[in-house]
Amino acid sequence: MRLPDGVKTIADRLSAARLNTQEDQVRRHVLRGFASGTTPTTVTLAKQCGLSPSRAREILLRLMAMDLLSLDSTEETVLVAYPFSSVPTPHRVRFTSREVFALCAVDALGMPAMLGETAGISSRCAHCGSKVEAQAQPDTLSQYHPAEIVVWFPESEDDCCPVAQSRCPNISFFCIHEHLQAWRQANGHPHGVVLSLVEAFEVGREIFGSLLSEPASPTG
């Protein structure tokens, strides 16, 4: 499934960041912390990575500047690291022993591939508020309800603020296509693409599936 032209994904931003080994180590620990159901902090990341708190904070600020994560106002706690949110959202992802929040519908659908785990995803139709649910394995959707679920993916984003604020709030589930159309009409007919749930799942896999993959070993 092809995303709208000009859309930069987390993988695009990560590639542009050209992180060094230490910076990428911190990034991975942030994601693994969220994946375990805990909120990463500067202090815990410094201990995990063998860094001083000031160096860990410096790296986190660089990652935030590249829109790979967001910190709170004290610069001590990670609030967002795509696809995770420490602040509750409508998108809950349940694994065997914990539950986490995703920033948007596609983020939720991408988590099973990123973590290599089966998950239950629950959210709400952005128009009527009715419940939508899906069961997903890393490489496939096993079941979902209702059968007509669609996902809205907006084209535009505001370059002056993080994607978590500009685009993620509108990447939403809708229980039926007619409710998506009603939502668009009520919101000034924004530009974007309508994805079937299967298409949105494939987009999520493509965006997030490799975020924790080990980097290729250098060749001689």
pTM: 0.92
The CATH number for 10-83, chosen from 3.30.1330.200, 3.40.50.11750, 1.10.10.10, 3.40.50.150, is 1.10.10.10
Residue 205: name the closest of 58, 9, 61 by CA.
Answer: 9
3-state helix/strand/coil string of 47-103 = HHHCCCHHHHHHHHHHHHHCCCCEECCCCCEEEEECCEECCCCCEEEECCCCEEEEC
Q: How confident is the model at residue 216 (pLDDT cuts 50, 70, 90)?
A: very low
Q: How confident is the model at residue 183 (pLDDT cuts 50, 70, 90)?
A: very high
Residue 112: name the closest of 205, 185, 9 by CA.
Answer: 205
Q: What are the tens digits of pLDDT across the range 137-154?
A: 999 999 999 999 999 999
The CATH number for 85-208, chosen from 3.40.50.12500, 3.40.190.150, 3.30.450.410, 1.10.287.3240, is 3.30.450.410
Q: What Å distances lie between residue 98 and 35, 48, 102, CA to CA? A: 9, 21, 13
